[in-house]
A and B are shown apart, each in its own frame.
Chain A
């Protein structure tokens, strides 16, 4: 789970790295974005001028690496004006994050 905004810290990227590593060893892994973390999923991020790589483009490699799903907390998306139309492709909207968490054997927050 990533509940922190992109680019501010390295916490989220470390979580992404962990998810990719689990996928590399064929562990079933999904990522849930909640709170300000949903801002990872906004389309058309252009971080060239702050000398960083686009977290959205990094995330687009997740299905290739074997990450099963990218979930977004619907309430947080509404708060930040995010809809499936202005988010990156392949995001699954999740009305109840707490219910989703019960479907997983293990859940961990980034940071």
Chain B
């Protein structure tokens, strides 16, 4: 299991594994299915390309919309998959750093 900070975020994104994702998700009471994995893979690719997490919920939704279209890129859909603050929950599970503008 990769090292995590006090908010549960993986310290080094390179140490993340799919197995770790399942464990982190379980902490949030989420059992990962294909829909989750689609978003997780999107976030991993996003981080590899831009070296930054989507900084807020709005920009998370916007980025997903840009890449995967309207059915995935809307806040209800992402809120259902990743309850709480979707950008935060999804980035935590995907092994990305904490989005800077999420409280």
Are chains A and B touching in the complex at the 8 Å CB cutoff? yes
Residue positions of A touching B, CB distance < 8 A: 17, 20-21, 23-25, 53-54, 57-58, 60-61, 64-66
Whether B51 and A57, one on each chain, are in contact in the complex, defined by CB atoms closer than 8 angstroms, is yes
A24: nearest residue on chain B (CB-CB)?
B58
CA distance A16 to B50 in the complex (A): 13
* Interface residues contributed by chain B, number (CB under 8 Å): 15
Whether B52 and A61, one on each chain, are in contact in the complex, defined by CB atoms closer than 8 angstroms, is yes
What's the least CB distance linking B97 to chain A, in Å? 9
Known contacts A64-B62, A64-B66, A65-B62: A17-B55 contact under CB 8 Å: yes
Whether B56 and A58, one on each chain, are in contact in the complex, defined by CB atoms closer than 8 angstroms, is no
What 10 A-B pairs are tightest by C-beta distance, nearest first? A61-B50, A53-B51, A24-B58, A57-B51, A24-B59, A58-B52, A64-B66, A65-B59, A57-B50, A64-B63
Q: With contacts defined as CB atoms under 8 Å apart, how many contacts are there between chain A and chain B in the complex?
A: 41
Q: Which of B52, B56, B63 contacts A21 (CB 8 A)?
A: B56
What's the least CB distance linking A103 to chain B, in Å? 25
- Provide 16 A-B residue pairs closer than 8 Å at the C-beta atoms, listed in order of the A residue: A17-B101, A21-B55, A21-B56, A23-B59, A53-B51, A57-B49, A57-B52, A58-B51, A58-B52, A60-B50, A61-B46, A61-B63, A64-B50, A64-B62, A65-B63, A66-B62
Residues of chain A within 8 A of B71, CB atoms compared: none
CA distance A66 to B55 in the complex (A): 13
Residues of chain A within 8 A of B17, CB atoms compared: none
Residues of chain B within 8 A of A25, CB atoms compared: 58
Residues of chain A within 8 A of B85, CB atoms compared: none
A57: nearest residue on chain B (CB-CB)?
B51
Known contacts A64-B62, A64-B66: A21-B50 contact under CB 8 Å: no
